[in-house]
Amino acid sequence: MDVVLPGEIARFKVWPAGKHRSPCYWMVRVFKTRGHMRRAFHKLDISHDKDDRFAAIVMPQERQKLVRGRWRSASPNLGYVLFARTYVCAEVLCHESVHMATNYLRRIGKLRLHQKHDKGEETLAYHTGWCGRQLNNGFHKFKCWREI
Ligand SMILES: [Zn+2]
């Protein structure tokens, strides 16, 4: 169990294929502010990325082990997804969902697009976010949200 990082206000798992179809999950961590989230990013990051412009981020992290001469995933944990509470909205949620889904599909070999995160994926994520924001606003405006 990871320690609670400064400013962390929530933590939960998201299973990109559904909890009952695959054990693979993302660990979502939400922080009070963008500053707290960025400090957490630099603490958790294994790539030593210096880009600080993001408001949320998907951080794929795979642990592998050698099984009968082949490298295999050692854990169903796909990595971290960090959000700053001040940026939690339908647009950011949709954008990061694209990265969560594409990273997962690449890992299991089911994405037939590019095998690396590229500008195309980023464009898809932004447009999905913009559509998601407008759908969310329309559903709220016309009171269409289903009660759960
Ligand atoms: Zn993105």
How many other β-carbons are positioned within 10 Å of the β-carbon of residue 103?
21
CA distances from 4 to 21, 22, 30, 125 (A): 29, 26, 11, 29
Q: Separation of 92 CA from ligand 1 center, angstroms? A: 9
Our measurement of the distance from residue 24's CA atom to the centroid of its chain's CA atoms, rounded to an integer in Å, reads 13
Q: pLDDT tens digit string along 33-73?
A: 999 999 999 888 766 667 777 889 999 988 888 888 888 87
Q: pLDDT tens digit string along 67-106?
A: 888 888 778 999 999 999 999 999 999 999 999 999 998 8
Domain assignment present for residue 146? The answer is: no
Domain assignment present for residue 1? The answer is: no
Domain assignment present for residue 148? The answer is: no
Local structure of residue 11 (DSSP, 8 states): E
Domain assignment present for residue 67? The answer is: yes
Domain assignment present for residue 117? The answer is: yes
Instruction: Decide if 31 contacts 82 (C-beta within 8 A).
Output: yes
Q: Separation of 67 CA from ligand 1 center, angstroms? A: 33
pLDDT of residue 115: 63
Angle at 100 between CA 97 and CA 105, to 5 degrees: 125
Instruction: Decide if 91 contacts 68 (C-beta within 8 A).
Output: no
Q: Separation of 11 CA from ligand 1 center, angstroms? A: 21
Q: Separation of 58 CA from ligand 1 center, angstroms? A: 8
Domain assignment present for residue 98? The answer is: yes
Q: Separation of 145 CA from ligand 1 center, angstroms? A: 26
- Of residues 19, 20, 41, 21, the one with CA closest to residue 30: 41
Q: Separation of 122 CA from ligand 1 center, angstroms? A: 5
Domain assignment present for residue 147? The answer is: no
Give how many domains the chain has, as a whole number: 1
pLDDT of residue 15: 95
Range(s) of the domain holding residue 29: 8-141
pLDDT of residue 92: 94
